[in-house]
Structure 1
């Protein structure tokens, strides 16, 4: 088992995302990578810049993280740890590190995710609260993204009803976002867990939130979308859930309510229409048992990645940093769609985020 310092060294390497790291770990370990020669690293596909990073890592930043790990109620969990959640380990691009405040045991209990609009209606908030209460009564942990609206209501209701809740952040755990939910985050850390794949001092950024959404779905046995517009981050969570072999559930609403259109679109495309929590519980039995196990590889169907994804968008990312708005203009796609596709390409190791935009990797 590699040291945490070696994991931090590897995870901080430039232009080396979760997908590339997962592939590297099929051949070697973080400790071996940190002790290899530059020639050996180059032979397994690392760039000169990545080799230099592994030879001369940002030790001060790594030491700050190690000090963070030593604080009460805080842990860094690497991918090879027995504390790493079994279901999350099986997604196509699992985070190499999880930063956790709170009890890690909740990450090993069956979780059901509730996501939805930040500008939720009264009916939507009521539904999120009722479903969260029923989930904790059925011994599920409620997971969500700590956002305003549906997310916050799901967390509040789980806590109010004596259950546990897990909040996955799009920022480091020392940079709680939104600031309005700092008190809620502290309570969750006491009665559940805060989770992030981002280093503790990282600020929230737009590109972080789709990454957060894939972790929410990856931790869960199913995802409930309460309210969502047609173009919504909740739909990104639902899409990742489907790709990860999770069940997706949606609550229908009025055809005149724009907050219902996203849910209706999901239902048209195969999500299960739900009216009561029982509609969810009867469908998630198999993954619920897998979540309790340390082995889930035979439970979760893996997506096939034989074809090059998003070729039209990939053709508009070059070897020099290309800003997101330029990619959107060239590919004639909305920015939110471009961000989602770039994230998927990054997770598959085909592009890399760099200062100023994205670059195409050798794999791409």
Structure 2
């Protein structure tokens, strides 16, 4: 059978789904042939001109015959994964203008989030309690100001950012470094499902693409590309999070860095960014005031919220607990040991009360940190 006459959008999908063809080769195909339809109509000549391997030329030739194309398009329509590409009007405008923009996007969840203002939040996969508390504090205020949170579904700060956004009733976008049929890391299965239900899962790779190390640095340009700016919360000196910061700078996005203790290895990345001119962040309004004018009211609200926390009235018992807890975080067992015996019996009740007041943040593993 010959090559069918279908839209450029569908040909892009067919080529993207062909094993062995990456976005750079697909771009070359389009540039060389002038259109995807012309490329498949004269595929043997185009493949030879591009110097593609015989195996790859044969693979594309089989994938683009009428029967294979119709089967692939029918399978796409039956899938819960939606397809978006550069030919679509609702392709994200921020992504359209970045260097090496993704040609294709595969989505599960609320696609309308791609049109909303968002901020990227990235950081260490092994954050300290201080890092988790900082992330939770900032993200909660940012979603209340109307921003969606974009991150990479990795362990650590990424997961904290997604979870806090959802818990605060906000929206979040997870950009995966593999296809949407793979949950990576596997322990984020529950978080993956929550984001699919209440946020958006996104990948430029076909759904069956397995998690391969080289793909994760590539997806970072999408995290920054979808965002008005990127916040880095804890990162070692050579952390992958810094790749996202570099992408943001290349794309003309703001880079924000949260400072940390000078003796912590996790502070090296943000501190180096600060030395290079990143915006120092200690409060949500430090971020909001740099964003477009539409978020000036959000910055003001965050500032008011910050002032409100400082005026919270604490009982004598609560004040003792707060004084014993640092911004880096303290385990509840260590806290109990620091207190006088007569003050230990109500510790758990007081911690819950202080968390409700917004003075403390509960962290995984039994840690609490001051906000």
Provide the residue aligned with 1:34 in structure 2.
Answer: 40
- Counterpart CA distance in 1 for 2:226 and 2:266 is 25
- Number of the residue aligned with 1:126: 133
Aligned runs of 1:7-26 on 2, under 5 Å? 7-12=12-17, 17-22=22-27, 25=30
2:63 and 2:293 mapped to 1: Cα distance?
43
What are the Cα deviations for residues 194-230 of structure 1, in whole angstroms up to 9, with x where unaligned? 0011111121111111011111111111000001000
1:242 aligned residue: 249
Does residue 70 of the first structure (1) align with residue 78 of the second (2)?
A: yes
Q: Report matched runs for 1:273-312 at 5 Å.
A: 273-285=280-292
Match of 1:2 in 2: 7
State how far apart, in whole Å, the 1-side matches of 2:120 and 2:74 are: 30
Contact 2:9 2:87 in 1 (8 A): no
Change (3 A) 1:109 1:94: same
Q: Which has the higher Rg, Structure 1 or Structure 2?
A: 2
Equivalent position of 1:164 in the other structure: 171
1:185 Cα deviation after fit: 0.9
Structure 1 contact 217–223 (Cα < 8 Å) conserved? yes
Choose which of 198, 205, 213 in structure 2 pairs with 1:206: 213
How many angstroms does 1:64 deviate by? Answer: 5.7
- Residue 190 of structure 1, CA deviation: 1.1
| Corresponding residue for residue 269 of structure 1 | 276
Contact 2:174/2:200 (8 A) holds in 1: yes
* Corresponding pairs, count: 286
TM-score (normalised: structure 2): 0.70
- Matches of 1:239 and 1:271 in 2, distance apart? 11
How much does 1:98 deviate? Answer: 0.6
Tell me what 1:188 maps to: 195
After TM superposition, where is structure 1 displaced by more than 6 Å over at least 4 residues in a row?
Answer: 58-62
Structure with the higher helix share, 1 or 2: 2
Correspondent of 1:135 among 132, 138, 142: 142
1: distance between equivalents of 2:283 and 2:71?
A: 49
Q: Please, what TM-score do these two structures have when normalized by structure 1?
A: 0.72
Mapped to 2, the partners of 1:80 and 1:8 lie a distance apart of 11
Unaligned runs of 5+ in 2: 1-5, 296-371
